[in-house]
Amino acid sequence: MDKVSFGGGCFWGVEHAFKQLDGVINTVVGYQGGTKVDPTYEEVCSKETGHAEVVLVEFDPQVLTLERLLDAFFYMHDPTQLNRQGPDVGSQYRSVIFPTHDLQEKRINDYFKEKLLPKFGERLVTTIEKGEFFNAEDLHQLYLANNPGGYCHIGFDVFLKLKTGQF
């Protein structure tokens, strides 16, 4: 198994999107990339901690490659929107990836060079960062699974295409 964290807007929708993929074993929503140890949702939303809302994705690389996971991430959000996704605005909604080891970071950097920079060029705002992961509060875990009518910036059509592999 391998793990990597992604931030691409409100973590409720990002988590639900990743849950559609075969090979995703587990997801945990949380906060990463800031200055405060174990921040709360309210502290992160205050924009004073520097954390991003992220999803820690545990996946089976024999079923789902890192590259395909990256394809899904860049399909589900707009990597050219700085500190926002749709109506969600603020640095906590930034487009960011937190690798968990050096080989993974190298592969992500290679993916950027080979796939993203030719497509987006200077418009690409996604960053690759390091930082400790902190679990979000229980009410945020599996939020859309537990609240099917809840808010989400990602459209149903995206969830369907991720589930069927048509992205």
Q: Which residues are known catalytic residues?
A: 10
Q: How far is CA 115 from the centre of its chain?
A: 18
Q: How far apart are CA 164 and CA 55, in angstroms?
A: 21
User: Residue holding tokens 């109506």?
Assistant: 87
Count other C-beta atoms under 10 Å from residue 70's C-beta: 19
Q: How far apart are CA 126 and CA 111, in angstroms?
A: 12
* Dihedral sign from CA coordinates of 18, 9, 5, 126: positive
Q: How far apart are CA 135 and CA 5, in angstroms?
A: 12
